[in-house]
Amino acid sequence: MKEGPDIARAAALIGDPARANILTALLSGKALTPSELAREAGVTAQTASSHLAKLESGGLTVTRRQGRHRYVTLASEEVVAVLEILTSLAARNGHLRTRTGPRDPDMRAARVCYNHLAGARAVQLYGHLCASGALTVTQAGITLTDSGAAAMDAFGIDLAALAGKRSPLCRECLDWSERRSHLGGSLGRALLTRMEDLGWLARVPGSRTVTFTPRGQRAFDETFPAARAATEPA
């Protein structure tokens, strides 16, 4: 029985922690690049590449080339269904409290994802921007409203400079530790940079963790208060 029977094949693909993280990240429905997935899964690019090759040859994901990047998505609704049932199964069995995502509490609170803020703080930020009408979320993606643009300008973001860039201004990014969306894209990057410039936060060298200064934390909570009812994760 050393010859892998079909069902075990697919299950074994999901069974590896790194691949499971990749698949979970893809559950957002968004297409993500290999490097983003590597970051989300907490492995290096080489490892992620190897995993992605296996996932694709196993029929769990599909890849489409677009310009310079490769975008990976889940292959079918069946894959989504399996992942969701597995999640619910794990939850029911009490394996929910298992630490998903970074074990470091600080890292869970705030960290860098690609180049924008991630973690609980980032989800709070995203929730506020949606609730205040700065962002509108549609099927097609996220767009910055006029009032949102004004707010960003007031916060010191140079939107004109961002408009010239190739990368999308706003992008939804599934948060690993929070399992909810936060803001990526060039605007997400600009916000992180701006907050750094304001002295609100500092990156921890050699780590993805970001620490807020006490003053920065207060200012952040004041500027982007936690929205009452945020968009649902699942």
Smallest distance from the beta carbon of 220 to DNA, in angstroms? 27
Binding at 124: pick from DNA, its own copies, none (beta carbon under 5-8 Å per type): none
Residues 125 and 224: beta-carbon distance below 8 Å: yes
Q: How many residues in the shown chain lie near DNA by CB under 7 A?
A: 28
Of 46 and 138, nearer to DNA (C-beta) is: 46
Binding mask 66-95 for DNA (x = CB under 7 A): -xxxx-------------------------
Residue 110 has φ and ψ, to the nearest 5°, of -155, 130
Q: Which residues bind its own copies (CB under 8 A)?
A: 1-21, 23-24, 41-43, 58-59, 76, 78-79, 81-83, 85-96, 98-103
Residues 152 and 162: beta-carbon distance below 8 Å: no
DSSP 3-state assignment of 230?
coil
List 14, 26, 52, 83, residue binding DNA (CB under 7 A): 52
Measured from the Cβ of residue 34, the count of other Cβ atoms closer than 10 Å reads 19
List 3, 6, 7, 46, residue binding DNA (CB under 7 A): 46
Residue 211 found at the interface with DNA (CB under 7 A): no
DSSP 3-state assignment of 63?
strand
Binding at 98: pick from its own copies, DNA, none (beta carbon under 5-8 Å per type): its own copies
List 31, 33, 62, 149, residue binding DNA (CB under 7 A): 33
Closest Cα partner for 115 from 212, 182, 160?
Answer: 182
Of 17 and 168, nearer to its own copies (C-beta) is: 17
User: What is the distance between the alpha carbons of residues 221 and 109, in angstroms, rounded to a whole number?
Assistant: 13
Binding at 76: pick from DNA, its own copies, none (beta carbon under 5-8 Å per type): its own copies
Residues 125 and 117: beta-carbon distance below 8 Å: yes
Maximum C-alpha span of the chain: 65
User: What is the distance between the alpha carbons of residues 155 and 132, in angstroms, rounded to a whole number?
Assistant: 15
User: What is the distance between the alpha carbons of residues 80 and 58, in angstroms, rounded to a whole number?
Assistant: 15
Of 34 and 184, nearer to DNA (C-beta) is: 34
Binding site for DNA (CB under 7 A): 1-2, 4, 12, 16-18, 33-35, 43-54, 63, 67-70, 166
